[in-house]
A and B are shown apart, each in its own frame.
Chain A
Amino acid sequence: MLITSIGQGLLWAPLVIGVFITFRILDIPDLTTEGSFPLGAAVTVSAMLSGQSAVTASLLGFLAGCVAGWVTGILDTKLHMPSLLAGILTMTGLYSVNMHIMGKSNVPLLSQKVLTNYLPATWSVDLQTIVVGALVTGVVVAVLIWLFKTRLGLSLMATGNNAAMSSANGIYTDRMVIIGYMVSNGCIALSGALIAQSNGYADIGMGIGTIVIGLASVLVGEIFLRGRQIWLRLSAMVLGAIIYRYLLTVAMGLGFPVDDLKILSAGILVIVICLPIIRNKYRTRQQLKRYLKQLGADEHEAEPISSLKRQASPEGLLSRDTK
């Protein structure tokens, strides 16, 4: 069960990394995800059916995602739409685009060679999935680590952190936001391409709930692996994707029907958002108790407790730190 989760998690990891780029680096909740994920799948499967190799088709899927990200980026920056609305518009538009690419709502692969077929046939499916997932995710992570060590990557981070300061320092923030959207949605579409090959089909509905999956995995990853270095943060995303898959597999093992997985995903997201808030609240209270105990040794005053308690505001994963 765990082995399957690792394989599947690695296939989903590019999606989580994509969501991480918009959500954490650029500080934008990008709903394009729900459209670019099936777009990647649709483009890849269609390309493979028309005779392209799995590698070329996957790359085409990635590029299609970049285009989708570019559209959202233009809507957001040049047309000054709220980023949520920009994402919703692209996502909605992509439904029609995906239908046109696929021709019908579900397109199965026939006898086409998918990425895992390049590996020895004697290997088990799980091992093949893990190797392909690890290779693709490894490349994505390596490229992004390099990117964030360049001046361009630094400009991207600065734009997400403090746009006013960035433009005052000569960074064209609009361009940075568009580039961020493109890289992010490229990764997301690539994940769609991998999942479609793993499932053996592309489906118009496969994007539903992917933003929740992505966000939940980002948060889960950050709970288990915290750090500032970019390689650590990206590794946390891969870990998050795997743990999230495992949680879903466990839930299915407990007898939840497949239709209930979406509400389960939503439930997990609620839990991982609330968990750190509760944990912080608890920690603050513990610290306060310890502090007051020290104080209590000298003075017996219970008065300040309630006022201090109210002041200690918990800090959640979703809330940004003070800039």
Chain B
Amino acid sequence: MLKNVSLTIEPGDFVSVIGNNGAGKSTLLNTIAGTLTADAGDLTLAGHSVTKKSVAYRAKWLSRVFQDPKMGTAGELSVAQNLTLAQRHTHSMSLHLYRNAQQEAAYQDLLRPLQMGLEDRLTTQVKYLSGGQRQALSLLMATLSHPELLLLDEHTAALDPQTSAKVMELTQKIVETNHLTTMMITHKMSDALTYGNRLVMVQDGQVKLDVCGAEKQNLRQDELMALFAE
């Protein structure tokens, strides 16, 4: 549940959101994404009021990486098909044939930097990929059409520590090169402190702490812990 939350995310911000279980982090994210609709108040995305709009409508400006690697990709479809779905500039109802060699070469170029060997597995069904590969693909898909806002929903929580670190590193790289405005929910305090220029702590459905810039850089883990305990 959220109570009177007012949050403005500036273009180029990388906001880390932390909070206890049940504090309202996910509710906040779901409200922005459109999975939940706010009972009261307004939500504006890149200058468009989307308070009552559907998830699909908001997808014009917004991308999301889910916590569960299985959620962000269609398992029965191939890597290339999943990437095609993420290309928002072609309408989902269009009758154009979607496969062509040129496109596939472009996909391979996109997948190569992930260094997971996915560029050779364009026709593999995504369900045969590992969790880390699926999550890296989700991340790539979410950033493919340069969204105005990227939502990361504890996107490394379901991965093992090593893969988690790799995906986090990849996230940082993609966000920086594309100058994406990002909002990341995380359970890992260290990630919240390391990544992003802004930190928001949610507690009891309200924003408890909102620091950015130098103030955020100087924040230490024990200080944060102390705030949690209050």
Contact = CB atoms under 8 A, between A and B. Distances in A.
A158 interface: yes
Interface in A136-175: 149-152, 154-155, 157-158, 161-162, 164-173, 175
B88 A169 contact: yes
B48 interface: no
Interface of A: 149-152, 154-155, 157-158, 161-162, 164-173, 175-176, 228, 321-323
Contacts of B66: 164-165, 168
A167 B56 contact: yes
14 contacts: A150-B98, A151-B94, A151-B95, A162-B70, A164-B71, A165-B66, A165-B72, A166-B85, A168-B55, A168-B66, A169-B141, A170-B56, A170-B92, A172-B56
A236 to B, nearest CB: 16
B85 A169 contact: yes
Contacts of A168: 33, 55, 59, 63-64, 66, 72
Contact of B127 (A149, A155, A321): A321
B3 interface: no
B60 interface: yes
A95 B106 CA distance: 53
A164 B84 CA distance: 16
B56 A161 contact: no
B57 to A, nearest CB: 8
A151 B98 CA distance: 6
B76 to A, nearest CB: 4
Contact of B85 (A150, A154, A164, A175): A154
Q: Name the prevailing secondary structure of the A interface residues.
A: helix
Contacts of A175: 93
B73 A150 contact: no
Nearest to A146: B97
Contacts of A149: 97-99
Contacts of B81: 154, 157-158
A157 B84 CA distance: 12
Contacts of B96: 150-151
B93 A169 contact: no
Contacts of A164: 66, 71
Contact of B75 (A155, A162, A173): A162
A152 B96 CA distance: 8
A124 B141 CA distance: 57
Contacts of A150: 94-98
B93 A161 contact: no
Contacts of A165: 66, 71-74, 85
B73 A152 contact: no
Contacts of B127: 321-323
A175 B71 CA distance: 21
Interface in B72-117: 72-77, 81, 84-86, 88, 90-99
B54 interface: yes
B125 interface: yes
Contacts of A173: 56
The winner among A150, A165, A168, A171 for most chain B CB atoms within 10 A is: A168
Given A162-B75, A323-B75, A170 B97 contact: no
Interface in B206-229: none
Contacts of B141: 169
Nearest to A173: B56
Given A157-B76, A321-B127, A169 B95 contact: no
